[in-house]
Amino acid sequence: HTQGGVRSQEGIGTGVVWDSYGHVVTNYHVISKVDKSVLSQATKVLIAGVDGKGVVECNVELAGTDAVHDLAVLRIVGTTDGSAPPLQPIALGRSADLKVGQYSFAIGNTVGLTRTLSAGVISGLNRSIPSPVGTRIYGMVQTDASISAGNSGGPLLDSSARMVALNTATFTRSGTGRGSGVNFALPADLLLDVVPKLIVYGNAMGKL
- The pTM assigned to this predicted structure is 0.88
pLDDT of residue 154: 94
User: How far apart are alpha carbons 147 and 119 in whole angstroms?
Assistant: 10
Q: Which of 202, 101, 182, 109 is nearest to 150 (CA)?
A: 109
203: which DSSP letter?
Answer: S
User: Which stretches of the chain drop beneath a pLDDT of 70?
Assistant: 1-11, 37-42, 50-53, 173-180
pLDDT of residue 9: 47
User: How far apart are alpha carbons 60 and 51 in whole angstroms?
Assistant: 23
* Identity of the residue numbered 200: V
pLDDT of residue 1: 44
Contact (Cβ atoms closer than 8 angstroms) between residue 71 and residue 194: yes
Contact (Cβ atoms closer than 8 angstroms) between residue 55 and residue 46: yes
Q: Catalogue the active-site residues.
A: 29, 70, 152
Q: Would strands 136-143 and 179-187 be described as parallel, antiparallel, or unpaired?
A: antiparallel
pLDDT of residue 143: 96
User: How far apart are alpha carbons 9 and 94 in whole angstroms?
Assistant: 26
